[in-house]
Every structure is written in structure tokens, then in C-alpha cells.
Amino acid sequence: MKLYRPSTLFAVLPFVGLLGVASGASAHDEHEALHNELNNEHSATHEDLNAEHRAGHEELDALHREAHQYPMTRRQHRRLHRELRREHRAEHEDLNTEHQAAHRELNGEHRDYHDYSR
């Protein structure tokens, strides 16, 4: 039985912070290359985070399955599910924090480029 349906937390989309900046006189080839690089890095980050997320779900599913091999009272079962939910929430918070940090880093790289090329 699957307790949690692994969803795609982080869609692999073009890096939002980069959109709209390329227009204007400064959009030359080198800048294009940087944008491509940052977008690739961003997609890779999302793939990593999604993989981590999936692994986390599999772990929780395994824990749940294992616990169900033994007889449980309703109360024990409720407690088990509460704990699994808490684990899952903590996992999501970790992933979101990682995701934000990655975005900050990519944004910083991008901003640096624009500051120096002005």
C-alpha cells in the first residue's frame, strides 16, 4: 500500500529570475551562454531535489509497510501515521530550504554578471 503519492515537487521550468532580462542591447552571445548554463544548472538542481524527494517517500513507505507487519492497536496506528506525517513535513521543509538556497546562488551568479557587464 502506498501511503504517499510522490508528486513532482519541483517542476523543471526555465529559471524564472532569468526571464525578461536578456532583452535589450546587452543580450549578446556570451550572455546567452551564461543564461543557458544557469538554466541547465537550475534544471539539474530540480532533478536532484525531485530524486531526493522520491527517495524520502520510498523510505517512508518502507517504514509504514514494516510497521504494518506487526499487530497494532488503532491508537498505535494513529500514532504511527502522525509520526510519518511529521517526518514527511520535515523532509519537505528541508527540500524547500535547499531549493531556495540554490535559487539564491543562481540569482547571485546572474546578478554578478550583469553588474560587471554594465
DSSP class per residue in 19-59:
TTTS-STT--HHHHHHHHHHHHHHHHHHHHHHHHHHHHHHH
Distances (CA, A) of 102 to 42, 94, 96, 98, 118: 8, 12, 10, 6, 25
Q: How far is the CB of 72 from Zn ion (least distance, A)?
A: 8
3 state DSSP class of 14: coil
Residue nearest to Zn ion (CB): 21
Site string for Zn ion, 78-97 (x = CB under 5 A): --------------------
Site string for Zn ion, 12-41 (x = CB under 5 A): ---------x--------------------
Q: How far is the CB of 98 from Zn ion (least distance, A)?
A: 10
Interface ranges with Zn ion (CB under 5 A): 21
